[in-house]
């Protein structure tokens, strides 16, 4: 049975997720996270795209990307094939690192974009890895709430869309969900 063709057009925005095969870890050490981020930056230079939010969880990834002239398939294939080769060489593994193909969900409007970014940034809290999202080192959240900069993340579209350029408004938007769910005080 043929695979369903993915929807793609220049300027489309996607929530990309990919999980380790059998839900196994895809990062074991800090160096692994750094290498994946390096590959994101390398891919941006080769296949320009905007990375609006990201979170690298121990066994899966979340990316909110906006394409320009290349499909998400081209971008993610490039990153994941290089990362899988790195991982398999480093840890003396063979076979697939990622479970199935990556998932992509087209972002249809600004509300879905905002909700997806919040979901991505809250992922480590909901997984019990940290109490506050800014404490998780492998996410773009700090770029959204502080003067921290990250050369691969473009936070302006999200901060300016709903928050009128205010990082405090974005922080409130994300963290009010935590308070409502009593995840932290």
**Any domain includes 4:** no
Alpha helix (H) ranges present in 47-185? 72-91, 110-126, 141-145, 156-163, 167-180
- Convert the pLDDT of each residue in 66-92 to its tens digit: 999 999 999 999 999 999 999 999 999
**Any domain includes 96:** yes
**Any domain includes 1:** no
Where residue 132 sits, what CATH number does that domain have? 3.30.70.1290
Quick one: tokens of 107? 């972002």
Residue 180 confidence class, pLDDT cut points 50, 70, 90: low
pLDDT given at position 12: 94
Domain that holds residue 37: 13-180
**Any domain includes 174:** yes
- Convert the pLDDT of each residue in 50-59 to its tens digit: 999 999 999 9
**Any domain includes 6:** no
Strand, helix or coil at 56?
strand
**Any domain includes 8:** no
Number of domains in the chain: 1
pLDDT given at position 184: 47
pLDDT given at position 179: 60
**Any domain includes 2:** no
Please compute Rg for the chain using Cα positions: 16
**Any domain includes 124:** yes
């Amino acid at each position: 049975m043929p695979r369903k063709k993915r929807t793609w057009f220049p300027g489309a925005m996607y929530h990309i997720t990919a999980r380790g095969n059998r839900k196994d870890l895809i990062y074991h050490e800090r160096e692994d996270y750094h290498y994946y981020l390096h590959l994101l930056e390398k891919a941006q230079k080769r296949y320009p795209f905007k990375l609006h939010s990201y979170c690298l969880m121990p066994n899966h990834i979340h990316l909110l990307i906006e394409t320009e002239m290349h499909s998400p398939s081209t971008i993610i294939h490039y990153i994941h094939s290089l990362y899988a080769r790195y991982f398999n060489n480093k840890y003396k593994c063979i076979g697939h690192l990622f479970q199935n193909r990556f998932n992509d969900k087209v972002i249809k409007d600004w509300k879905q974009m905002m909700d997806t970014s919040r979901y991505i940034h809250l992922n480590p809290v909901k997984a019990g890895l940290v109490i506050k999202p800014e404490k998780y080192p492998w996410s773009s959240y700090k770029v959204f709430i502080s003067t921290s900069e990250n050369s691969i993340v473009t936070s302006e579209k999200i901060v300016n869309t709903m928050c009128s350029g205010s990082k405090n408004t974005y922080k409130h938007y994300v963290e009010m969900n935590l308070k409502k769910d009593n995840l932290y005080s």
